[in-house]
Structure 1
Amino acid sequence: MAIKYFNKEEINHARNTDILEYLLSKGENFLKQGNYYRHAEHSSWVYDNRKKVMYFNKEVTNYATNSCITVALKVYQFNFNEAVTDILSSGAEILLEERFEKDKLAKPMFDYKREVKEDINTNAAFDYLVNKRQLDAQLVEQLIKAGLIRQDNHQNIVFKYLNRETNQLHDVVGVELRGSRLIPEEKRIHPNRPYFLMQHELNQPDTGFYIQLSPRFQTAELKVFEAPIEVLSYLTIKKDCLFHQEQRQNIDFLSMGGLKQSVVFEHYKKIMLQNRLLATQKKEAVTIPTITLCVNNDEGGQKFIERFTRFLQEQAFSESFIQQKLKIELPVSQVNETLAIDYNDLLQERKGLSTITVREEGLQ
């Protein structure tokens, strides 16, 4: 079969085709939420009808695009010619170039005070994190007092994304909102998601929620998790060795907000800039941090480890760096090592085992 070659006009036609209309023509189903359309089966696929941008919020690369060709390549695994042919034959509406430029220019910077309406208290957030998720009460209280965790006027927990270059509380570049109240089954957008969850659309790209252990020192390790609650669960499990011992080097605990290697890469680059600055100020050698992947112990986490390793190779990281500086620290169930769990599952399991042990000791 002869390969068809497309001219520039045809390629632009395909690229600028309305993504939502194209996907609907392919039989995909979306649920309307204001100006957004969320895929009925893949809840992390969200289409912004104002900006004409498709977000793949749990993807590692190309997780936001306004190119219909990119979407066709990604969703249907077409090659380039197949993608262009399929789009052109779909009959979907074509958008003008000036519409894309207008939307791109219209996107405002994230403004915390404008986008988040804080509640005057944090009772619902504290109750959910400590009683429902079994996180250490003192840790949660400290993070609330520090301002890293707040509560909005809908009783959602607000996890603030700080700018890693400044590390200043006033320099918030994004937020993740997590509901503290159970959503009735009939009102859920996704049947398996009982609580509200949103990463704000205006978040600065490639940023995430993070906590530092000892920011005065160079960072020796970047520990990477999938969600803020898993960061806090790990810190609860490890609190004795992390908080009750003198630390001479910093550790960053970072949530990717999914499985996003670009978030890890950008955060690591900012750590290196800070390390070089501190090394110059203190007249000491620059520390090259370890990257420890503390992702969920499931199929998604395992595949991410493989992809991230390949990503480092593609970014020209040496084999010696990958062997010596890339570590894996997955949560492992004490009940059944084959269980797929995250760090909050492990914390809940340990709390249960601890309770059983105490009861048994009390009976002796």
Structure 2
Amino acid sequence: MNERFLDPKYVDNLAKAGLISSDNKENVLFKWTDPNNVANIVGADVQGTYRQPFEKRLNQATGKLGRPYYKGIAANSSSTGGFRVPIFQDLTKPLRLYVTESPIEALSLIEHNLKTNDPEKAIYFSQSGLKYDAMKEQIESLTPFVKDNEQLEVVFAVNNDEHGREYVKDSLKKMKAEDFEMHPFLQMPNINNGDWNEVLELEKTGQLKSRLTKQKDLKQAQALLQNEKVVVEDKKSLNPLNRLIPGANNSVKKETSQQLEVTR
């Protein structure tokens, strides 16, 4: 977790509260609580802590590079669940729901907001992706706790990329059609194609080394794929049939080879 620049104090507090733990493979588990019964665990995000070998991450067929760390969802998790953290500093404030894409981004946003925002009464929620139904369930579970003269404040804090922006646009359209009673806000990272963990990294280090690492990995992947291509081409050039009649198909090459052997 140190590589993610999260304050160990917050992580430890959540571990003591039973929201974060680990499994027998030393993966970090971000536990999902039932919004209607927080004592009930309905799923978990599974986050690896060991960097996966580069060769395992690279898909030779597609050329795509996978994540450096394992990331998944525990078996039998609720389809609409997600990691949620309550931050109740001022109970006089309107109830607010922050919607993020991952637990680490939710925790990063909490750190950012604790330094920049006034005290609040909020739930920070990770959808583990972009899942409208998951957000909808959270809104419906929180609506009964909103004061009569107020509306639930829903803050879209997803990644500042094409998928995130489209999600916000589509969600607002659906909410309007379903006549949701809530007040929407937008708080996206001020980094193009960035997420809240990158914001935290930039705030704490003044740079984005994580992006440089990604770029380095991509270059390494391209070089590896190019080397594989060269090796394949070299193997083709070593085929004696290819040297006999360059550009001819295999059946012609075999036939020509047999004819040459007969005439010798």
Matched, 1:238 2:113: yes
Would the aligned equivalents of 1:151 and 1:157 in 2 still touch at CA under 8 Å? Answer: yes
Matched residue SS, 1:155 = coil
Aligned counterpart in structure 2 of residue 352 of structure 1, from 189, 200, 205: 205
Distance 1:342 1:316 in 2: 30
Residue 189 to residue 198, structure 1, CA distance change in 2 (3 Å):
farther
Provide closer, same or farther for how the CA distance between residues 192 and 351 of structure 1 changes in structure 2, counting only shifts above 3 A. same
Q: Offset at 1:331?
A: 0.6
Unaligned runs of 5+ in 2: 60-64, 208-264
Q: 1:211 to 1:189 in 2, by over 3 A?
A: farther
Q: Which residue of 2 aligns with 1:40?
A: none
CA RMSD of aligned residues (A): 2.3
Which secondary structure state, in structure 2, belongs to the residue aligned with residue 167 of structure 1? strand
Residue in 1 that maps onto 2:88 = 214
1:185 to partner: Cα distance: 1.9
Runs of 4+ in 1 over 6 A off after TM superposition: none
**Once the 2 structures are TM-superposed, how far is the Cα of residue 189 of structure 1 from its aligned partner?**
7.5
Aligned to 2:259: none
Q: How far is the alpha carbon of 1:188 from its aligned partner?
A: 3.1
SS at match of 2:37: coil
- Pick the aligned partner of 1:225 from 74, 83, 100: 100
Report the CA distance shift for 1:189/1:272 in structure 2 as closer, same or farther (over 3 A): farther
CA distance in 2, matches of 1:343, 1:183: 23
Secondary structure, in 3 states, of the residue corresponding to 1:202? coil
Deviation at 1:312, TM superposition (A): 0.7
1:145 deviation in Å?
A: 1.3
Q: Paired residue for 2:172?
A: 309
CA contact (8 A) 1:219 1:271 kept: no
Find the counterpart in structure 2 of residue 295 from structure 1: 158
Task: Give the aligned partner of residue 267 of structure 1.
Answer: 138
For residue 77 of structure 1, what is the aligned residue in structure 2?
none
Residue aligned with 1:206, SS: coil
Alpha-carbon spacing, 1:189–1:157, altered in 2? closer, same or farther (3 Å): farther
| 2:194 maps to 1:341 | yes
SS in 2 for 1:147: coil
Greater relative contact order structure (CA < 8 Å, 6+ sep): 2
Identical aligned residues as a percent:
26
Does residue 166 of structure 1 match 2:37?
Answer: yes
Shift of 1:140: 1.0
TM-score (norm 1): 0.52
Gap regions ≥5 residues in structure 1 = 1-128, 280-284, 334-338, 355-364
- Secondary structure, counterpart of 1:317 in structure 2: coil
Structure 2: how far apart are the matches of 1:294 and 1:270? 19
Amino acid at match of 1:210: R
Compared CA separation, residues 192 and 293, structure 1 to 2 (3 A)? same
Matched, 1:200 2:74: yes
- The alignment of Structure 1 onto Structure 2 pairs a total of residues equal to 201
Determine the C-alpha separation between the residues in 1 that align with 2:38 and 2:89: 9
Change (3 A) 1:204 1:302: same
Change (3 A) 1:187 1:349: same
CA displacement, residues 132-169 of structure 1 (integer Å, 9 cap, x when unaligned): 0001121111111111110111010000000111222x
**TM norm structure 2:** 0.70
Distance of 2:14 and 2:149 partners within structure 1: 29
Larger Rg: 2
Change in Cα spacing, 1:206 to 1:347, as seen in structure 2 (3 Å) is: same
Which residue pairs with 2:186 in the alignment? Answer: 328
Determine if contact 1:161/1:172 at 8 Å carries over to the other structure. yes
Is 1:147 paired with 2:10?
A: no
Give, in whole Å, the separation in 2 of the partners of 1:349 and 1:205. 33
1:256 is matched with which residue: 123, 127, 135?
A: 127
